[in-house]
Amino acid sequence: MHAGSHGHGSAQADHTGVHAGSHAHGSHEAHGEKPHDSGHASAGDSTRIDPVMAESFGVETEVAGPATLTKSVTVYGRVRVNPERAREIRARFDGQVHEVQARVGDLVREGQKLVSVESNESLNRYWLLAPISGVVTSRDINSGEQTNGRLLMTITDTSSVWVDLSVFPIDREGVVIGSRVSIAPALGGRSVEGVVSLLETFADPHDQTAVARVVLENPGNEIRPGTFVSAEVRVGEFEVPVAVKQTGLQTQDGTVVVYTRHGDLYHTRPLEIGRQVGEWAEVLDGLAPGVRYVTVNSHLIKADIEKSGAAHHH
């Protein structure tokens, strides 16, 4: 399954102006007139907006600059107990069980008494102790029964769990051992980071997915076995010299643009866009590093410029 990718950039948010040589062509000030009482005056491909009004409209800006774009794919899976952390409990000497002090689901500590057995040969009683701390995940014995060499109980240490992720063929090439993964419960919750430690060789015959396994430390037992999860697997990372937030992009007259800010002047800047990954868009041409542009509520700037242009034509 595909999903959105993510990017991390170095663009810095700020509200101070970066002055440049752009001007509002045909603006009221250029004709010696004062701006409207509304707090801004507009014309052509630029508009002037009073900083206080811009702030009240929730207009935010950042400085364009280099960014690290991280491509990822979304996959889904499930948390499993780590079988390497499980211990089986059997009687050292077969006999009759006199007492069982743990049930399925109980948390036990290493060395804790679990099962009292009377040996058939010596008739001595002895205790089977928990070999590790963990959760009782199986129990197949009750008082009065004979042990008969069978498995009596299983203790599983859940401070380490497996997350088995199902990767479809279209995504398999980019997922490798060592790929970084961000994992979150499917129903919402805090995400955790891990790496792919195993890729299964054989695909599931039903849906052709292959398992990518992540081993997670779980000291607080916050990650419960059986939980369905979604995960973002990072499959590519690249640096670009100039990138802008996709939230700042608008389309004007069929061209992708951003609105740069120079003091109280907002100017339309056509862009040539390259790769678009997560929140970032690579800029191939049209914007230099260090120029401040609108990232939030850019549609308000667009509407103001378009309204100004329509009024200008009349």
Q: What are the structural domain ranges in the chain?
A: 6-69+239-313, 72-82+159-235, 86-156
Residue 233 pLDDT class (50, 70, 90 cuts):
very high
Mean pLDDT (whole number) for 147-171? 95
Q: Residue 219: pLDDT band by 50, 70, 90 thresholds?
A: confident
Please tell me what DSSP assigns to residue 104.
Answer: T
The span from the CA of 221 to the CA of 117, in Å, is 32
Which residue would you say has higher pLDDT here, 7 or 244? 244
Length of the chain, please? 314
pTM: 0.64
> Taking Cα atoms as reference points, which of 234, 211, 207 lies closest to residue 69?
234
Q: Backbone dihedral region of 205: left (phi > 0), alpha (psi from -120 to 50 degrees) or beta?
A: alpha
Asked whether residue 26 carries a pLDDT value surpassing 70, the answer given is no
Over pLDDT 70: what percentage of the chain?
84
Whether pLDDT at 221 is above 70: yes
Q: Which of 225, 237, 218, 229 is nearest to 176 (CA)?
A: 237
pLDDT above 80: residue 313: no
Q: What is the mean pLDDT of the chain?
A: 85
CATH number assigned to the domain covering 6-69+239-313: 2.40.420.20
More confident residue, 16 or 46: 46
Per CATH, the number for 72-82+159-235 is: 2.40.30.170
Q: Report the pLDDT value the prediction gives residue 44, as an integer from 0 to 100.
A: 58
Tokens of 107: 């948390």
What's the pLDDT band for 314 if we cut at 50, 70, 90?
A: low
Angle 8-11-14 (CA atoms, 0-180°, nearest 5)?
A: 135
**CA-CA distance, 308 to 269, in Å (whole number)?**
16
* pLDDT given for residue 54 in this prediction: 93
As beta bridge partners, residue 293 has 62, 260
Architecture of domain 86-156: Beta Barrel (2.40)
Q: Which two tokens stand for residue 234?
A: 């990072």
Q: Give yes or no for residue 120 having a pLDDT over 90.
A: yes
Mean pLDDT of 105-115: 96
- pLDDT at residue 33 tops 50: no
> Smallest Cα–Cα separation from 155: which of 117, 113, 94?
113
Q: C-alpha angle 239/296/3, rounded to 5°?
A: 55
Residue 8, pLDDT score: 45
CB-based contact 67:9 (threshold 8 Å): yes
Runs of H (alpha helix) within 147-268: 169-172
Give the mean model confidence (pLDDT) for residues 123-151: 96
Would you call 263 exposed, middle or buried from its count of C-beta atoms within 10 A (0-12, 13-18, 19+)? middle
| DSSP 8-state secondary structure symbol assigned to residue 93 | S
Is 239 within 8 Å of 282 (Cβ atoms)? Answer: no
Contact assessment for residue 271 and residue 258, using Cβ atoms and an 8 Å cutoff: yes
> With 90 as the cut, is the pLDDT of residue 34 above it?
no
If one counts every other C-beta atom within 10 angstroms of the C-beta of residue 124, the result is 10
Structure tokens at 56: 């009240």
Tell me, what's the pLDDT at 62?
96
Residue 88, H or E segment: strand 86-89
- pLDDT digits over 235-270, tens only? 988 899 999 999 999 998 899 999 999 999 999 999
Q: Give residue-wise pLDDT tens across range 129-140.
A: 999 999 999 999
